[in-house]
Chain A
């Protein structure tokens, strides 16, 4: 709830290298992610705007806190870790992504997985642009 209440990285970038908007058709939630990265494949700046539930806002906030400064390849691992946590209940193994374990209580609530994953999906889509 703390992550959802006090969003980290909320807003817009002045010169985003990529911008992706994703909607969750089930509930109408909307996530906009803006990012920049350097030529060495490091995410340098990220901003997000979320119209969504507490879980969606919390994920966006975690992304805003934990992804700047990370390599794009490491961010791709994060989404895999998160999906495994939600679907299998397995704790994150990569040392960068221990913070994802705050979402462990969502394991078993299938209808909420997309709420948690939507910001990550927007981010990984943005990084593929």
Chain B
């Protein structure tokens, strides 16, 4: 998918930054690890705080007012997330612990119906969260995993798509955007190929979620997973969205309270969606916080945010390109990538570079980013990843570039 080039718009990250208490606690912090976790605005923290102070109770069972209030808050959270995804039916939203929890839920549910010889198509760019659940499934069921190759710049190479999507393919599970290369996946051909053999499509939306509301039906996928803590929400909450007809076919892989109509000592009759896939007490306050994050994002001028992030990413890429010995990972076209850049500085280990940054108050991530097969593809042990969010500004980029100069003096 080619991202649209937005018009340049005025945007003041300093005003946005004031909304995030972490920057009051740490005024010198240059936080460039947003692909790992974004920070929380006060609106989200206050929503969680308010819920815990005024509405805390377990949901769906108690008949006292507080329980009804908590239940309503949880339902409203689901409604807000449905709105964020553009889903008409809120019961298609299954709250999970995060993207990892969502994909594991789906893998475990799929395990019931898959047979040896069935195939699941992944790609070499996937985060371990969209690889290991399928490897575990493969060991349990004999399902064969196949992998879409990558282009030299780390995008999913669609040229072998029709060879790899066979009649035995039951699911295509790929990232919406890579946490290492930043590349945004080209969805059209992938979805067409999968649906031509009645295979479903799951997108790992962990990296895309912070970039604003989706139109899930227009995307054309069948399942979508995301994490709250990567979209300015709390940790411990995420979701799996699925098309209702597909979710209804999934046998609940996990059991517990709140997910049944009737139970005998021999069997049980599962409840309707979404409860059938949410056993036990859910992360209620976290769901309220995630809904607050979604609402907060939906109130922003997202065109202006997008323009700001493209501007910063361009400044970062231009600056990095001026250094000798730096290899940039990912698409060279600014508009085919998210606002994250992975780099390899020759002769410098990512942890050493990250330490130089850390000593100067700059937070980045060094390592394999839970994408070891991708690192092997690039012939690297790891990279240093700089990932931006709307509260970053030009001074963050310039401080980082200056730190690289210092790192080259110290480490090489």
A: residues with CB less than 8 A from B are 1, 26-30, 51-55, 109, 112, 115
Contacts and interface: CB of A to CB of B under 8 A. Distances in A.
Given A1-B410, A53-B350, 14 more contacts: A27-B350, A27-B366, A28-B368, A28-B372, A28-B375, A28-B381, A28-B382, A30-B381, A52-B349, A54-B411, A55-B352, A109-B355, A112-B351, A112-B355
Nearest to B381: A28
Contacts of A112: 351, 355
Contacts of A53: 349-352
A36 B366 CA distance: 35
A26 B349 contact: no
Contacts of A28: 367-368, 372, 375, 381-382
B interface, how many residues as a size bin? 10 to 19
Nearest to A115: B351
Interface string B359-377: 0000000111000100100
A26 B375 CA distance: 14
Contacts of A51: 381
A27 B352 contact: no
A27 B351 contact: yes
Interface of B: 349-352, 355, 366-368, 372, 375, 381-382, 410-411
Contacts of A109: 355
A41 B367 CA distance: 38
A26 B350 CA distance: 12
Contacts of B375: 28
15 contacts: A1-B410, A27-B350, A27-B351, A27-B366, A28-B368, A28-B372, A28-B381, A28-B382, A30-B381, A51-B381, A53-B349, A53-B351, A54-B411, A55-B352, A112-B351
B60 to A, nearest CB: 39
Contacts of B410: 1
A26 B354 CA distance: 14
Contacts, number: 36
Contacts of B368: 27-28
Nearest to A30: B381
B114 to A, nearest CB: 29
A112 B368 CA distance: 16
A124 to B, nearest CB: 23
A55 B350 CA distance: 12
Contact of B382 (A27, A54, A115): A27
Q: Which of A28, A51, A55 has the most CB of B within 10 A?
A: A28
Given A1-B411, A51-B381, A54-B411, A26 B367 contact: yes
A36 B219 CA distance: 61
Contacts of A27: 350-351, 366-368, 381-382
Nearest to B412: A5
A54 B367 contact: no
Closest 3 interchain pairs by CB? A53-B349, A53-B351, A27-B367
A55 B349 CA distance: 10
A56 B350 CA distance: 13
A69 B372 CA distance: 39
Nearest to A109: B355
A115 B382 CA distance: 14
A27 B381 CA distance: 8
B372 A54 contact: no
Nearest to B367: A27
Contacts of B349: 29, 52-54
A1 B348 CA distance: 12
Q: Which of B349, B366, B372, B410 has the most CB of A within 10 A?
A: B349
Nearest to A51: B381
Nearest to B366: A27
B369 to A, nearest CB: 10
B37 to A, nearest CB: 15
Contact of A54 (B352, B366, B381): B352
A52 B350 CA distance: 9
Contacts of A1: 410-411
Nearest to B358: A109
Contacts of A52: 349, 381
A25 to B, nearest CB: 9
Contacts of B367: 26-28
Contacts of A115: 351
B348 to A, nearest CB: 8
Contacts of A55: 351-352
